[in-house]
Amino acid sequence: MNQSLTTQNPLELSRNANDIKGLDNLRRAAQSGDSNALDEAAKQFEAIFVQMMLKSMRKAQDVMADKDSPFNSEQVKFYRDMHDTQIASDLASNGSIGLAEIIVQQLGNTDNGYMPAGALRNDGNLSSINRNTISSTQNAQNAVLGEPSPKTFQSFKTAAFEDAQSFIEQLYPAAQHAAEQLGIDPKALLAQAAIETGWGKHMIHNTSGQNSHNLFGIKADRRWQGDRAMVDTIEFEQGVAATKKAPFRMYESFGESLQDYVKFVQQNSRYQEAVKQTQSPQDYFTELQKAGYATDPNYADKVISVFEGEQFKRYSAEQTSTSGAAGNIK
- Alpha-carbon distance of 120 to 131, in angstroms, equals 18
C-alpha torsion sign, points 141, 146, 148, 151: negative
Q: What is the pLDDT of residue 208?
A: 83
CATH fold of the domain at 152-321: Lysozyme (1.10.530)
- Alpha-carbon distance of 199 to 194, in angstroms, equals 4
Q: What is the pLDDT of residue 123?
A: 46
Q: What is the pLDDT of residue 89?
A: 76
CB 181 within 8 A of CB 256: no
Q: Of residues 46, 84, 260, 287, which has the active-site annotation?
A: 260
Examine the residue annotation and report whether 84 is marked as an active-site residue of this protein.
Answer: no
Picking from 52, 42, 55, the residue whose alpha carbon sits closest to that of residue 14 is 42
- Give span(s): CATH 1.10.530.10, the chain: 152-321
> Taking phi first (over 0 means left), then psi (-120 to 50 degrees means alpha), and beta for anything else, what does residue 15 get?
alpha
pLDDT in tens, 286-304: 999 999 998 888 999 999 9
Answer yes or no: pTM beyond 0.75.
Answer: no
> What are the 10-residue block averages of pLDDT along the chain, 330 residues in total?
47 53 64 68 78 80 68 76 79 72 67 50 48 57 52 84 94 96 96 96 89 94 88 71 83 96 95 96 96 91 95 86 55
Q: What is the DSSP string of 255-284?
A: HHHHHHHHHHHHH-GGGHHHHTTTTSHHHH
Q: What is the pLDDT of residue 27?
A: 65
Examine the residue annotation and report whether 260 is marked as an active-site residue of this protein.
Answer: yes
Compute, in degrees rounded to 10, the torsion defined by CA atoms 213, 317, 179, 306.
60
Q: Of residues 221, 235, 301, 318, which has the active-site annotation?
A: 235
pLDDT in tens, 228-237: 988 877 766 6
The H-assigned helical ranges of the chain are: 3-6, 20-31, 36-64, 74-93, 99-107, 117-120, 126-145, 164-182, 186-197, 254-267, 272-275, 281-290, 299-307, 310-327
Q: What is the pLDDT of residue 330?
A: 40
